[in-house]
């Protein structure tokens, strides 16, 4: 007897048939909003831990998150491969392969978490903290935080997986709703566990990790339920083949691993750049200016650009799957144009009211403010190149060319800025403006290489090898 299959929401064909400007914006703005809202979590965590634990707790979260991201970005690389396949199959209007790909990505994520991330993260956490030379007081706070994050990351992984799958399938609003819920629950749980609200124990820094774990598990449970509901363009049902499909899994890693290596390379490059900033005569002031100017204020450009990058990837991948590569090109151009407009608007604020923006973060020291104003001038230009680079990177990754962005990132984010700083430091004393210049040149290089690679059009000939579904047993 055949198990009845619950009908799913049809795939959105407007991405391959409708106006591209509307398609790009429809996919981009929910991700932008989600990124902005998600940024609140870090602010709340640092405020609570700073109040109840002190600066050691803040430092522990900063270091712990940095290590966690470097490790987990490699595990999450399988989701990049999933996005390539889902977009391609959605464009070809093949929902069976869409659903099968997402399920196989789920299996891969659970396996990587259970066999690699959780056990090795728990065992190696002390060694990882040693690599970054964490002070004893910071190490004492960071170790339990980091171990809980590694072991409790399954919910977060599944939430990210479902959201990425839906975006690639053309649904960006459901991930926004899930992201808002995750942020609200995260903040509520973190408040409860950090402070010891009611009968709950006061866990301090470790409470931030426990809160993130609980929130992630709740949202991931809801996300999986929605996959079975038939309300989404991605649907699981009882009649599916629940066995591992090694052909699909192989394709996930084929397209995803380069993105994972790229993420690791860029994060390592960021750490090395901080070492150069730490070598400056006014290192403390320069680090403060960098933390606020680049990490916080410049993120308003990167957050919007990442939304457009995701939109460009979906539009390019789906239209290639629909055998309409010219629409893929046009879609990426549209995303880049929107990104330039938004980056220019934010850049004008960097140039006209830099002291006001820095003041929002309590920056009053004259030296810090002076360095921050100088940095924002560079970033007002850099943002134009970053947003174009990211949208064209999205176009490359969405069509399956995930290796080129890896090589481009190594050249532009590692070789160029770190090489320039090393060269200058070997000839004379390094100045803050030298580091800001290195950052700008890196972004210009990334933009030029990304555009050039996309225009070559080799992505048009990338094939996806997935066999037809096996008969269920």
197 and 302, same domain (yes or no): no
224 and 263, same domain (yes or no): no
Task: Say how many residues make up the chain.
Answer: 473
What is residue 403's predicted lDDT score, i.e. its pLDDT?
Answer: 92
What is residue 320's predicted lDDT score, i.e. its pLDDT?
Answer: 92
* Secondary structure letter of residue 240 according to DSSP: S
In a domain, 4, yes or no: no
233 and 273, same domain (yes or no): no
Residue finishing a domain among 221, 244, 267: 244
In a domain, 21, yes or no: no
Residue finishing a domain among 217, 244, 271: 244
Alpha-carbon gap, residue 161 to 78, rounded angstroms: 9
- Give the CA-trace dihedral at 243, 249, 252, 255, to 10 degrees: -160
> Is residue 293 over pLDDT 70?
yes
State which residues form the domain around 264.
257-460
- Contact 214/182 with Cβ under 8 angstroms? no
What is residue 299's predicted lDDT score, i.e. its pLDDT?
Answer: 83
264 and 144, same domain (yes or no): no
What is residue 132's predicted lDDT score, i.e. its pLDDT?
Answer: 61
What is residue 199's predicted lDDT score, i.e. its pLDDT?
Answer: 82
CA atoms within 13 A on the CB side of 173: 7
Give the confidence band of 351 by pLDDT, cuts at 50, 70, 90: very high
94 and 52, same domain (yes or no): yes
Give the confidence band of 70 by pLDDT, cuts at 50, 70, 90: confident
What is residue 2's predicted lDDT score, i.e. its pLDDT?
Answer: 43
Helix (H) or strand (E) holding 244: none
Residue finishing a domain among 190, 211, 244: 244
In a domain, 427, yes or no: yes
What is residue 1's predicted lDDT score, i.e. its pLDDT?
Answer: 38
Mean of pLDDT over the chain: 86
What is residue 3's predicted lDDT score, i.e. its pLDDT?
Answer: 45
Between 465 and 54, the more confident residue is: 465
Between 324 and 73, the more confident residue is: 324
112 and 202, same domain (yes or no): yes
Alpha-carbon gap, residue 84 to 174, rounded angstroms: 19
In a domain, 72, yes or no: yes
What is residue 240's predicted lDDT score, i.e. its pLDDT?
Answer: 83
236 and 267, same domain (yes or no): no
Of all residues in the chain, the percent with pLDDT exceeding 90 is 42
Q: What separation, in Å, do the N-terminal and C-terminal C-alpha atoms of the chain show?
A: 11
Q: Write out the two tokens for 45.
A: 């965590």
229 and 325, same domain (yes or no): no
**Contact residues for 324 (Cβ-Cβ < 8 A; gap 6+):** 16
Helix (H) or strand (E) holding 224: helix 205-229
Could you tell me how far CA 24 lies from the centroid of its own chain?
19
In a domain, 6, yes or no: no
CA distances (Å), origin 386, targets 84, 289, 442, 450: 22, 20, 9, 10
57 and 34, same domain (yes or no): yes
What is residue 41's predicted lDDT score, i.e. its pLDDT?
Answer: 67
| Interior angle at CA 323, CA 317 and CA 327, nearest 5 | 65
State the average pLDDT over residues 454-473.
Answer: 80
The closest of 321, 338, 304, 392 to 170, measured between CA atoms, is 321
What is residue 222's predicted lDDT score, i.e. its pLDDT?
Answer: 95
Alpha-carbon gap, residue 459 to 80, rounded angstroms: 16
184 and 307, same domain (yes or no): no
The closest of 431, 425, 398, 380 to 24, measured between CA atoms, is 398
Number of domains present in the structure of the chain = 2
In a domain, 15, yes or no: no
In a domain, 410, yes or no: yes
Alpha-carbon gap, residue 138 to 31, rounded angstroms: 34
Buried b (16+ CB within 10 A) or exposed e, 429-450: ebebebbbbbbbbbbbbbbebb
> Is residue 359 over pLDDT 60?
yes
For the ranges 53-57, 101-105, 286-290, which has the lowest average pLDDT? Answer: 53-57
Q: Write out the two tokens for 281.
A: 């005569």
What is residue 81's predicted lDDT score, i.e. its pLDDT?
Answer: 86
In a domain, 274, yes or no: yes
Alpha-carbon gap, residue 109 to 372, rounded angstroms: 41
Query: For residue range 237-264, what is the model confidence (pLDDT) as tens digits?
Result: 888 888 898 988 999 888 888 888 888 8
For the ranges 363-367, 389-393, 394-398, which has the lowest average pLDDT? Answer: 363-367
Between 466 and 22, the more confident residue is: 22
Alpha-carbon gap, residue 358 to 274, rounded angstroms: 20
* Secondary structure letter of residue 320 according to DSSP: H
Between 204 and 146, the more confident residue is: 146
CA distances (Å), origin 330, targets 16, 19, 336, 342, 463: 11, 11, 10, 19, 21
212 and 269, same domain (yes or no): no
Give the confidence band of 58 by pLDDT, cuts at 50, 70, 90: low
What is residue 50's predicted lDDT score, i.e. its pLDDT?
Answer: 64
80 and 164, same domain (yes or no): yes
């Amino acid at each position: 007897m055949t198990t009845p299959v619950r009908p799913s929401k049809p795939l959105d064909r407007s991405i391959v048939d409708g106006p591209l400007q509307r398609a790009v914006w429809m996919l981009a703005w929910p991700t932008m909003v989600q990124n902005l809202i998600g940024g609140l979590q870090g602010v709340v965590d640092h405020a609570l831990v700073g109040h109840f634990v002190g600066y050691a707790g803040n430092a522990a979260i900063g270091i712990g998150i940095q290590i966690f991201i470097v490790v987990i970005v490699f595990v999450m690389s399988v989701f990049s491969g999933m996005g390539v396949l889902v977009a391609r199959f959605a464009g070809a209007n093949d929902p069976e392969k869409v659903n099968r790909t997402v399920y196989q990505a789920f299996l891969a994520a659970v396996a990587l978490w259970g066999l690699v991330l959780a056990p090795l993260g728990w065992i190696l956490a002390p060694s990882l903290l040693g690599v970054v030379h964490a002070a004893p007081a910071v190490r004492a706070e960071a170790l339990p935080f980091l171990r809980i994050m590694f072991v409790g990351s399954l919910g977060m992984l599944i939430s990210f997986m479902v959201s990425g799958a839906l975006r690639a399938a053309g649904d960006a609003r459901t991930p926004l709703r899930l992201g808002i819920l995750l942020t609200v629950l995260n903040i509520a749980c973190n408040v409860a566990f950090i402070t010891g609200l009611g009968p709950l124990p006061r866990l301090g820094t470790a409470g931030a990790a426990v809160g993130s774990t609980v929130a992630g598990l709740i949202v991931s449970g809801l996300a999986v339920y929605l996959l079975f509901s038939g309300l989404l363009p991605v649907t699981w049902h009882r009649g599916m083949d629940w066995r591992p499909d090694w052909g699909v899994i192989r394709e996930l890693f084929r397209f995803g691993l380069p993105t994972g290596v790229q993420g690791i390379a860029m994060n390592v490059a960021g750490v090395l750049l901080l070492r150069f900033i730490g070598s400056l005569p006014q290192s403390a002031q320069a680090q403060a200016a960098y933390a606020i100017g680049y990490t916080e204020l410049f993120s308003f450009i990167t957050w919007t650009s990442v939304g457009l990058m995701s939109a460009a990837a979906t539009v390019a991948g789906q239209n290639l799957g629909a055998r309409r590569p010219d629409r893929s090109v046009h879609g990426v151009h549209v995303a880049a144009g929107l990104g330039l407009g938004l980056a220019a608007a934010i850049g004008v604020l960097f140039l006209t009211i830099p002291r006001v923006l820095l003041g929002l973060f309590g920056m009053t020291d004259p030296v810090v403010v002076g360095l921050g104003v100088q940095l924002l001038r560079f970033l007002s230009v850099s943002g134009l190149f970053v947003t174009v680079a990211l949208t064209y990177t999205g176009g490359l990754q969405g069509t399956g060319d995930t290796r080129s962005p890896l090589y481009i990132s190594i050249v532009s984010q590692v070789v160029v800025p770190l090489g320039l700083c090393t060269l200058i430091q070997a000839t004379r004393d390094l100045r803050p403006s030298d580091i800001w210049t290195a950052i700008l040149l890196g972004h210009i290089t990334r933009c030029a290489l990304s555009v050039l690679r996309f225009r070559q059009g080799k992505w048009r000939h990338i094939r996806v090898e997935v066999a037809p579904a096996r008969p269920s047993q």
